[in-house]
Amino acid sequence: MNNPQFDEPNAPVQVGCWGQAAIIAAVLFIFFLAVPWD
């Protein structure tokens, strides 16, 4: 998952494969909490 747009030298945060996985997991977790399960 080496995307060219993340290879900029002036990027504040270097998002790697694990970074994207963590972001996706966080979004799914928030969505999971937002769903009313009753």
pTM value is 0.48
- Encode pLDDT of 12-36 as tens digits: 555 677 888 899 999 999 999 998 7
- Report the SS3 class of residue 18: helix
What is the C-alpha to C-alpha distance for residues 16 and 9, in angstroms, rounded to an integer?
14
Could you tell me the end-to-end alpha-carbon distance of the chain, in angstroms, rounded to an integer? Answer: 38
What is the C-alpha to C-alpha distance for residues 16 and 5, in angstroms, rounded to an integer?
11
Q: Two tokens at 5?
A: 């747009």
Q: Quick one: pLDDT at residue 24?
A: 92
- Domain count within the chain: 1
Look at the block and give the residue holding tokens 């937002």. Answer: 34
| Per-residue DSSP letter, 23 | H
